[in-house]
């Protein structure tokens, strides 16, 4: 999980960005040219700070790198929101400015909601070994089901932006080529495109080429299943992630002799935290899907819309597999399988 101070820095950045968008909207409504120029100048400085050209102090210099998925996803969502805000400010359209402001409100809420920036283990102690086994088995199954359900929800939103699901990897690979963005005319629009590219580059650090190919196969299988049964999203996602097989394997380990109730209780508490952390990351990816679709629409680039949604969907599937530990790679977090196996190893 990203350290509290790093997420707080991103939250301050989102709040400042929201305030600037609000100031611009008010200035335009009042025909205040000076106020509008001041707000646009502030947005320019904030964008350049994000790109490393200026230092306004919103992000600590020692911010975590790509190996920290929580901070990476929060940064991507913030960058997509910033890109959308810059495009809205360039256009000066009241409706788009309001939409950008609302998105920034949601982003700030995702970063600062109570209990979201840190976790406290329950510290509960089971009265006996059978109770500890039951508690861990239920928490394990619940965590895996939660992972499948939340990932299916993100997939449903992302799939609407992807024209050919079976070529998800191809869509993502286009991010290194021409996305049909053309030459952005104004300063804010050019900065918006650069911030968008920064967000996508960060995501590519999470979804490496081998993982992209595997995620592509998983998504294709999921989409094929949806064609047969639109209401089976969570079950289908559980299938492509290998959730049921993992449940069976871990249930068998909990039937072994020589288990220790204290170790099982610690594992139960860790899975509770893991499930909460996963939910927070899916919140950010879901918001990023919405933000990415808006940015691509404002750029009038269907190609970009499909590519951005494809990469975010791949990131969601990879993040889900990592938290479930069903693919056994990558290892950015201690997933469900790893936690239970450690607790049940003599």
- Chain-centre distance for alpha carbon 204: 13
Q: Looking at residue 249, what is its pLDDT? A: 93
Q: Looking at residue 133, what is its pLDDT? A: 95
If you compute the radius of gyration of the chain from its CA atoms, what whole number of angstroms results?
A: 22
With a CB cutoff of 8 Å and minimum separation 6, the contacts of 251 are 137, 140
> Smallest Cα–Cα separation from 27: which of 81, 94, 82, 84?
94
- Indicate the domain borders of the chain: 4-114+126-344
Q: For residue 160, count CB atoms less than 10 angstroms from its CB and return exposed for 0-12, middle for 13-18, buried for 19 or more.
A: exposed
Evaluate whether 289 touches 151 at the Cβ level (below 8 Å). Answer: no
Q: Looking at residue 207, what is its pLDDT? A: 82
Task: Enter the tokens of residue 125.
Answer: 């102690």
Q: Looking at residue 279, what is its pLDDT? A: 92
pLDDT in tens, the chain (346 residues): 445 677 788 888 889 999 999 999 999 999 999 999 999 999 999 999 988 875 554 444 344 444 577 888 899 999 999 999 999 999 898 899 999 999 999 998 888 754 443 434 445 788 999 999 999 999 999 999 999 999 999 988 888 877 665 566 665 665 555 555 555 568 898 888 889 888 888 888 888 778 888 888 888 888 888 777 777 778 888 888 889 999 999 999 999 999 999 999 999 999 999 999 899 899 999 999 999 888 888 877 766 777 788 888 889 999 999 999 988 766 678 899 999 999 999 8
What distance separates the 2 farthest-apart alpha carbons in the chain?
76
Q: Looking at residue 89, what is its pLDDT? A: 93
Q: Looking at residue 299, what is its pLDDT? A: 79
> Smallest Cα–Cα separation from 52: which of 74, 73, 79, 28?
79
**Integer Cα distance of 89 and 126 in angstroms:** 56
Q: Looking at residue 122, what is its pLDDT? A: 47
pTM: 0.85
With a CB cutoff of 8 Å and minimum separation 6, the contacts of 259 are 129, 132, 133, 344
Evaluate whether 18 touches 83 at the Cβ level (below 8 Å). Answer: no
């Amino acid at each position: 999980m990203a350290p509290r101070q790093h997420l707080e820095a991103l939250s301050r950045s989102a709040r400042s960005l929201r305030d600037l968008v609000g100031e611009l909207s008010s200035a335009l409504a009042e025909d205040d040219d000076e106020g509008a120029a001041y707000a646009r100048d502030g947005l320019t400085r904030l964008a350049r700070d994000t790109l490393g050209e200026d230092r306004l102090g919103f992000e600590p210099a020692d911010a975590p790198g790509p190996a920290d998925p929580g901070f990476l996803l929060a940064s991507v969502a913030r960058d997509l929101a910033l890109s959308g805000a810059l495009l809205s400010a360039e256009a000066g359209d009241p409706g788009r400015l309001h939409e950008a402001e609302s998105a920034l409100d949601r982003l700030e809420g995702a970063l600062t909601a109570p209990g979201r920036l840190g976790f406290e283990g329950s510290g509960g102690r089971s009265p006996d070994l059978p109770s500890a086994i039951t508690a861990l088995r239920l928490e394990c199954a619940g965590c895996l089901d939660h992972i499948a359900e939340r990932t299916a929800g993100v997939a449903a939103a992302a799939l609407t932006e992807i024209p050919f699901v079976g070529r998800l990897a191809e869509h993502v690979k286009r991010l290194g080529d021409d996305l049909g963005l053309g030459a952005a005319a104004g300063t804010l629009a050019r900065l918006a495109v650069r911030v968008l590219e920064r967000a996508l580059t960060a995501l590519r650090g999470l979804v490496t080429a081998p993982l992209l190919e595997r995620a592509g196969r998983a998504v294709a299988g999921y989409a094929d299943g949806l064609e047969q049964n639109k209401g089976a999203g969570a079950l289908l996602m559980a299938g492509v992630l290998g959730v049921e097989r993992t449940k069976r394997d871990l249930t068998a380990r909990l039937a072994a002799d020589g288990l220790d109730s204290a170790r099982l209780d610690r594992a139960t508490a860790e899975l509770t935290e893991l499930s909460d952390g996963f939910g927070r990351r899916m919140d950010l990816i879901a918001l990023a899907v919405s933000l990415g679709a808006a940015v691509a629409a404002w750029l009038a680039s269907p190609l970009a819309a499909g590519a951005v949604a494809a990469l975010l969907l791949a990131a969601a599937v990879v993040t889900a597999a990592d938290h479930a530990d069903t693919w056994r790679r990558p290892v950015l977090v201690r997933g469900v399988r790893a936690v239970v196996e450690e607790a049940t190893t003599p």
